[in-house]
Amino acid sequence: MAKVVLGNGQTITVIRSQKNNSMDSNYLNVNRALWDEKTKHHQYSDFYDMEGFLSGKTSLREIELTALAPLVAGKSVLHLQCHFGQDSLSLARMGAKVTGVDFSTTAIELARSLNTQLGLDAQFVVSDVYGLPEVLKEKFDLVFTSYGVITWLPDLTRWASVIRQMLQPDGTFYLAEFHPTLYMYDHDKKEIGYRYFDHTKPYEEVETGTYADADAPIQQREFFWSHSLAGTIQPLLDQGLQLKKFQEFDYSPYNCFPNMQEVGPSRFVYGDLEDRLPHVFSVEMGS
């Protein structure tokens, strides 16, 4: 645990898991530096539409908005891997009491600034997912996470354990995530380039630009992992969570991979595959 003084003079606590081994520390440090840098560019990108968001537009997409709308009003919500908090704050606008968590100090600084600017009461914590129980002792009605999150985590058994620890006895977990079949593709080369099934060894690549701004002057290392559907859902079941709803979608709500084609408002497909390839899945589980 360390104190960090931000540029605006605010002091925040940075939490890092004490259980991380040297491999964990390496991937965390590399990926954290990458997401610190991404945040600096994402906040100004058309992808995140900050002007529209600040004027009242929700950042949530149809898939998760449909699922969460009946669940959040008056409830406590934990948003894991929240980036700079647009979805967290969108949930707060819907009447939820929200806590957003991300390992990027830069992202959390921006999230707190947006929270103040919008006059909302969300709170934001700097922490990697695995270290969260060391500092956050609350239990939540809903734990939420979405889109491009689990690929940054090496161990979904530990992830599921944290989710279970954070949930109220009658709480709900909701995940909307890119389908592991979609992640198999090297989207630039238009061919299968990655594993489907879980593997303990990460991929290590150098990322140029970012999904929100391909021309951003970013060229940094990253570590990421493949996780199958079974490798994602079974650890949650092993924690005693009960599957309420499972869905698969033949489109992505984001144009965030190379060679995507728009097939409708906020609906994109990879190449010309359309409904031949699953793009997103979601799970709703109860404790």
Q: What is the pTM of this model?
A: 0.90
> Residue 282's beta-bridge partner residues?
176, 247
Query: Among 181, 143, 148, which Cα is nearest to 163's?
Result: 143
Q: Cα–Cα distance between 71 and 30 in angstroms, integer? A: 36
pLDDT-derived band at 275 (thresholds 50, 70, 90) equals: confident
pLDDT digit string, tens, across residues 58-92: 999 999 999 999 999 999 999 999 999 999 999 99
pLDDT digit string, tens, across residues 121-169: 999 999 999 999 999 999 999 999 999 999 999 999 999 999 999 999 9
What is the model's pLDDT at position 276? 84
What is the model's pLDDT at position 1? 34
Residue with tokens 């590399």: 30
What is the model's pLDDT at position 15? 36
Per the CB < 8 A criterion, the answer to whether 122 and 106 are in contact is no
3-class DSSP state for residue 278?
coil
What is the model's pLDDT at position 274? 67
Alpha carbon of residue 43 to chain centroid: 16
Phi, psi of 131 (to 5 degrees): -85, -5
**What percent of the chain is predicted at pLDDT more than 90?**
85
What is the model's pLDDT at position 18? 33
Helix spans in 94-133 (H):
105-118
Cα distances (angstroms) measured from residue 162 to each of 8, 78, 92, 125, 132:
32, 11, 22, 15, 7
SS percent in the chain: helix, strand, coil, step 5: 30, 30, 40
Superfamily classification of domain 2-286:
Vaccinia Virus protein VP39 (3.40.50.150)
What is the model's pLDDT at position 287? 87
pLDDT digit string, tens, across residues 87-125: 999 999 999 999 999 999 999 999 999 999 999 999 999
Which amino acid, 69? A
Per the CB < 8 A criterion, the answer to whether 252 and 268 are in contact is yes
Cα distances (angstroms) measured from residue 148 to each of 80, 138, 176, 178, 286:
12, 25, 9, 6, 22
What is the model's pLDDT at position 173? 98
Whether residue 25 has pLDDT greater than 70: no
Least confident span in 16-30, 63-77, 226-240? 16-30
* Average pLDDT of span 239-264: 96
Whether residue 7 has pLDDT greater than 80: no
pLDDT-derived band at 5 (thresholds 50, 70, 90) equals: very low
Whether residue 22 has pLDDT greater than 70: no
What is the model's pLDDT at position 199? 81
Q: Cα–Cα distance between 126 and 85 in angstroms, integer? A: 12
* Average pLDDT of span 221-237: 97
What is the model's pLDDT at position 88? 98
DSSP symbols for 164-214 = HHHEEEEEEEEEEEE-HHHHTEETTTTEE-S-SS--SSPEEEEEESBTTBT
Per the CB < 8 A criterion, the answer to whether 173 and 77 are in contact is no
Whether residue 50 has pLDDT greater than 90: yes
For the four alpha carbons of 245, 48, 150 and 197, in that order, the dihedral sign comes to: positive
- Kindly give the interhelix angle for 156-166 and 229-238, rounded to the nearest 10 degrees: 40
What is the model's pLDDT at position 2? 34
Per the CB < 8 A criterion, the answer to whether 251 and 139 are in contact is no
Averaged pLDDT score across all residues of the chain = 91
Residue with tokens 């954070």: 166
* Average pLDDT of span 243-255: 97
